[in-house]
Amino acid sequence: MPKLISILKRAADFIQQRLADRQQAGNYRTLKPENTLIDFCSNDYLGFARSPQLKQKIAEEIGAYPENHNGSAGSRLLAGNLQYTEQLEASIAGYHEAEAGLLFNSGYDANIGLFSSLPQRGDTIILDELAHASIIDGARLSNANRYTFKHNDLQSLADKLKAAKGSIYIGIESIYSMDGDSSPIAEILDLADSYNAAVIVDEAHAIGLYKTGLVQQFGLHNRVFARVITFGKALGCHGAVVLGSDNLRNYLINFARAFIYTTAASFHQVASVKTAYIFLRDADEAISTLKSNIALFKSTIDKHEDFPLIESESAIQCIILKSNEKAKLIASTLQQKGIDVRPILSPTVQQGSERIRICLHAYSTPDEILLLTETLNKFLHER
């Protein structure tokens, strides 16, 4: 066989084998079309993504700038920058009481850009073991030493800090995406101060339930080195901002490859973010309904020793099923009842911690929540 054909065959065999292994392990991923089930799985916590009012206002905002093009047609450093975007960055930074903000095309890009460009060879990145894949991937792309500490465990973090060299960066989430619990940010900052470490907080799942994020809610924004706010969840659109000092912004413009080497977001995307922030300022009623919905879920779900509910005050509530099969079975039982909840399987989460992840929303009705908890309670009692 000619050499090229044999290499192609090897690649094709590799792909087939990896897919077969996944199928065998019961965690083969497929894309599902949209459905009309009751939504307990999207990150649209405040209903912005589905809001006809927001859609209308975005259309009006876009219409108010007929001179702006459809596509940005270049990186922000080339043809893709708009004064509109820079004004929005300044206004978002003001809203979050930060010196400056820099938009990225997604939260994934923001974490990749930040964590890959800032820590250098000889420096140390210490991440909570449950940090999002985008934080881990960003850290992997840096040349720094990398450690993880046990989830929310200050002693474990202190142990890692003792061994750290160079400039130290600690990466955490304020609300964890897969567990829904919050991080002890103030205690982590105290510990970080004693080692002169910079703390970076991803607020992807805090923004919304907390109007400006959890860091600011606790008055800790002047103590964190940087915050990442994503727009794809409660803000109902797409993109992210890194908040920090003016110098951090300038540094990222110069060194973050995920910012430099990509086409800037379209005007449509930036206009959506601007409009969503106007809605967020007025979202008190939606936030209060979301809080009551979380309370209703927590008060009607039975505690089950074998299938624990992770302690969480947020819109993300998880029941640990401990196997891919059980997680898939409970999700399909709920789907048969008209409820959209997705199983979270290993390897997305650690083996043994497979779960269903329930997202509550401002638009969930009490009847829908009761149908969810009744179905869950019945299922779990029968196991």
Ligand X SMILES: Cc1ncc(COP(=O)(O)O)c(C=O)c1O
Binding site for ligand X (CB under 6 A): 106-108, 111, 132, 134, 173, 177, 202, 204-205, 230, 232, 240
Give dist(CA 218, CA 198) in Å, integer: 18
Question: Which is closer to ligand X, CB of 252 or CB of 376?
Answer: 252
**Cα separation of 45 and 48, whole Å?**
8
Q: Which is nearer to ligand X, 173 or 340 (CB)?
A: 173
Nearest to 283 by CA among 218, 335, 185, 207: 207
Task: Classify 124 as helix, strand or coil.
Answer: strand
Q: Minimum distance between the CB of residue 49 and ligand X, rounded to whole angstroms? A: 12
Q: Least distance to ligand X from the beta carbon of 228, Å?
A: 7
CB-wise, 205 or 328, nearer to ligand X? 205
User: At a CB cut-off of 8 Å and minimum separation 6, what does 166 contact?
Assistant: 119, 120, 122, 123, 124, 144, 145
Question: Which residue number is nearest to ligand X in terms of Cβ?
Answer: 107
- Of 242 and 380, nearer to ligand X (C-beta) is 242
Q: Of 42 and 167, which has the nearer Cβ to ligand X?
A: 42
Nearest residue (CB) to ligand X, 240 versus 360: 240
* SS3 category, 199: strand
**Minimum gap (Å) between residue 232 Cβ and ligand X:** 4
> Which helix (H) or strand (E) element contains residue 103?
strand 100-104
Rounded to a whole number of angstroms, the minimum distance from the CB of residue 327 to ligand X is: 18
Contacts of 70 (CB under 8 A, 6+ apart): 266, 267, 268
Nearer to ligand X, 72 or 177 (CB): 177
Q: What residue ranges in 174-222 does DSSP mark as E strands?
A: 198-202
* Residue 139 CA: distances (Å) to CA of 47, 134, 255: 33, 9, 15
Q: What does the alpha-carbon distance between residue 115 and residue 169 come to, in Å, rounded to a whole number?
A: 9
Q: Minimum CB separation from ligand X for residue 105, in Å?
A: 8
What is the smallest separation between the CB atom of 31 and ligand X, expressed in angstroms? 16
- Cα–Cα distance, 298 to 313 (Å, whole number): 9
Distance CA 359, CA 42 (A): 6
Closer residue to ligand X, CB minimum distance, 292 or 346 = 346
Nearest to 195 by CA among 224, 162, 244, 151: 162
Q: What angle do CA 177, 180, 184 make, to 5 degrees?
A: 100
Q: How far apart are the first and last CA of the chain?
A: 55
Q: How far is the CB of 171 from ligand X (least distance, A)?
A: 10
Give min distance, CB of 155 to ligand X, in A.
24
